[in-house]
Each structure stands twice: as C-alpha cells, then as structure tokens.
Amino acid sequence: MEIKILGTGCAKCKKLYEATDKAIKELGVTATLTKVEKIDEIMAFNVMMTPALVINGEVKSAGRIPNAAELATLLTTAAAKG
C-alpha cells in the first residue's frame, strides 16, 4: 500500500503524517508512507486544501486530520483491497 501525505510542511501536515505513521504501526499493515511537499505535485492530485491523505493514488481526506478511528478504517479497507 502506498500512502502519501500532501502538504507544504505546516503543523497540521506533520500531525497527519505522525498520526498515519502511528496507525500503520498499530494496525501492522505494510505500507510506504511519504510526504509530498512540492506544490506542483500536490496540485496534480487536485487538492485545494492541505493536509491531504492519499492512499494508493486516491485522495481519502483533504483539509483536515481524520481521527484515529477513521484513519484505521481507511487503512484497513485499503489493505483488504490490496
């Protein structure tokens, strides 16, 4: 599973990265987690607000930080498809 956190490095972007990393470890799923901070790369996903969470090329959340339960659901659903 490939997970990207889109954001220019703001506090919320860092918080989403940390929360996602924690969820991956707690769930024991195999995933590659990367930060995307370049504006042109972020715009390629048609995201107007950051932070954004992208799982396997699909934007799952934008402009907010999903809570732990929502993150767990998004990750387990993607892992099951994957």
51 in any annotated domain:
yes
At residue 77, does pLDDT exceed 90?
A: yes
Domain that holds residue 13: 2-75
Q: Total structural domains in the chain?
A: 1
pTM of the model: 0.95
Q: Enumerate the active-site residues.
A: 10, 13
- In terms of C-beta density within 10 A (0-12 exposed, 13-18 middle, 19 or more buried), how is residue 51 classed? buried
Give the CATH number of the domain where residue 37 resides: 3.40.30.10
81 in any annotated domain:
no
* Lowest-pLDDT choice from 1-5, 32-36, 78-82: 78-82
Q: What is the pLDDT of residue 22?
A: 97
82 in any annotated domain:
no
Tens digits of residue pLDDT in 48-72? 999 999 999 999 999 999 999 999 9
Cα separation, 18 vs 42, whole angstroms = 19
DSSP single-letter state for residue 49:
S
80 in any annotated domain:
no
3, 58 Cβ separation under 8 angstroms: no
